[in-house]
Structure 1
């Protein structure tokens, strides 16, 4: 599908039509939070169907070889003092972001396990297959004022597949990413290296290379409203000491943030960053996010655990805060919008650009479709 620039009103999701079609009113979905403030919708507790790993060369393996084990420092009241700049850039191997993987790894897992799905392979006929990260963006969309996105939607044998497409704006931002931001991205991965071990009961080894090609991914099944979901997301680590060793409740999400020094900084943190942390962890049923707060020199000064189900309490009485019901209701509405918009099966492969119907979000700036 050829590229075409489109400017839209604020707070709407629209369908991009190819150039060779006659103009017609584009279906759209409003994103105003006030429209989605009803009761919390039904969301089935996620259950893990399986997993896969990606190695240092980004090669797929249908097992848990890349799973790491949560191994925090002793809680003796001292600062962890993790040096998040250590090894940068000499011991850093970032993933090649020019390679657009789309749904490839998830589809490979699905092809290998299609016949083993609970309810049989026919269950997929009405399901939505995507990455957890794409659903996270949907959950946060009603409160997003800065970042647009584009999803390609394709229906095959009744299943709707959603895959993100990099917008021209996002590509420019990636290619012109400032050195400080690249270093901050490294710090997040370095924090994981300090907090995770390769085997249970073993101390972490932060002296090795930080290779962001390596990943352990959980494949989960859930349902939002009347939409069956099959999605996958990267997992930072599993906690051998968790009350339950049953995934996903044994998984832990690791995050970093700058130190907070004022009530205003904490309020902004709760309104914005905690929203994304909640959405990312609530969807797969990860119970806890462990955050490392770093000082300007890049050292982790403190650790704090944020239980996923308690995050909303930080903004419950904030009139400008976020609401989980709004997030989930909007996501359910979007999935209905996508299901009703992409109604015909396409026999072509999912990776073919012409087989996908772009769905776009334009917040408060011009956006382009591809």
Structure 2
């Protein structure tokens, strides 16, 4: 049977809608958010193979000011953009359950998602430019969320303009200058000159390969909805304790020269904040750079203190608005999709300054084969069989 077009996959029914909150109205009651607790960690190798080790774990190392963040650009190994499947997250959660490491039963979990998707959900009321789409499945009371990317969008992400590609690289290079494979206390010679590049500048932690990642999976709770969230962690400060308390997020931004630059940076802090907040990362280190990529200054922020920094300023954002919206949205979404079959897929469209539209997809998209693996909707067949037969 030929695959239907993107447009024909949407059933011709009126979508369910939910409007964004008014930014001027602060919630009368704060929505509680539980401190994230790590369930399991895992690594991706240079071949982007998942392994349940900490081989990709990196340690924070003070970067040298004046570093040229364009160094090593021609050797950058960039993993191509692709659909944001949650398969690795499911493998990790399943592994933790099998080893008895996770105190969370799947019956208790309301949402399984990557950190990036949850960040976009929570910050959506403040997004005024870019819309995006998300797919949802509800199976046995658990909603599985993943970003929906069209082939055109994937191609766009893989074919960035040279200027944008270079700016993206600056962020990765800052991570290399700010991290080491070895914890503090090892021979400094091992930290300064990686063996593969004896002419590397001081502080260089190795050439950038975005196939290599270290990820943490945490459990937390928004209101009464328990969440299992996975995301990449840049490094730890000091030593890895098995919990998020030493995690560090690394970011770059243009050097602040005037009030306009400051306002732009404070807006960026919204995303920085929730990316760290959702995984329980306590510290964000920002490297400020020139347009040409020279590291000029560096500043460390305690995640918990960031909202207070922007409070009362023009265009300020309020995390309580985001958490209240996130809880209302997830509750609305659960109520919308719960009457459907377990293998149904729903599409959520986030429309800037307006709200969300939720519509059920045609059943033709439910059973597919991708990269030689059979899937049921968003889920790999092995996982579907496990949860559907009750053997998880």
Give the secondary-structure state (helix, strand or coil) at the position aligned to 1:283: helix
- Partner of residue 4, structure 1: 7
**2:218, 2:80 → 1: CA distance?**
26
Give the secondary-structure state (helix, strand or coil) at the position aligned to 1:252: strand
**1:156, 1:102 → 2: CA distance?**
16
- Partner of residue 238, structure 2: 240
Q: Are the aligned partners of 1:56 and 1:213 in contact in 2 as well (CA < 8 Å)?
A: yes
Pair 1:66–1:33, CA change in 2 (3 A)? farther
Give the secondary-structure state (helix, strand or coil) at the position aligned to 2:245: coil
Deviations 1:261-292 (A, max 9, x none): 1122112211x111110111111111111011
Pair 1:251–1:154, CA change in 2 (3 A)? same
**2:104, 2:247 → 1: CA distance?**
27
- Partner of residue 200, structure 2: none
Pair 1:43-2:24 in alignment:
no
**2:215, 2:25 → 1: CA distance?**
31
Shift of 1:4: 2.4
TM-score by length of 1: 0.84
Pair 1:346–1:60, CA change in 2 (3 A)? farther
**1:199, 1:311 → 2: CA distance?**
30
- Partner of residue 162, structure 2: 179
- Partner of residue 70, structure 1: 60
Pair 1:222-2:189 in alignment:
no
**1:135, 1:120 → 2: CA distance?**
19
TM-score by length of 2: 0.80
Pair 1:56–1:184, CA change in 2 (3 A)? same
Q: Are the aligned partners of 1:36 and 1:325 in contact in 2 as well (CA < 8 Å)?
A: no
**2:93, 2:239 → 1: CA distance?**
31
- Partner of residue 358, structure 1: 347
**1:290, 1:347 → 2: CA distance?**
42
Shift of 1:323: 0.4
Higher relative contact order (CA 8 A, sep 6+): 1
Which residues of 2 match residues 180-199 of structure 1 at below 5 A? Answer: 180-199=163-182
Runs of at least 5 residues in structure 2 that lack an aligned partner in the other structure? 195-203, 362-392
Give the secondary-structure state (helix, strand or coil) at the position aligned to 2:23: helix
Deviations 1:152-192 (A, max 9, x none): 10022321100111157744642552101101111111111
Pair 1:257-2:253 in alignment:
yes
Deviations 1:293-340 (A, max 9, x none): 111221101110111111112221124210010111111111112211
Aligned with residue 158 of structure 1, among 141, 159, 165: 141
Give the secondary-structure state (helix, strand or coil) at the position aligned to 1:52: strand
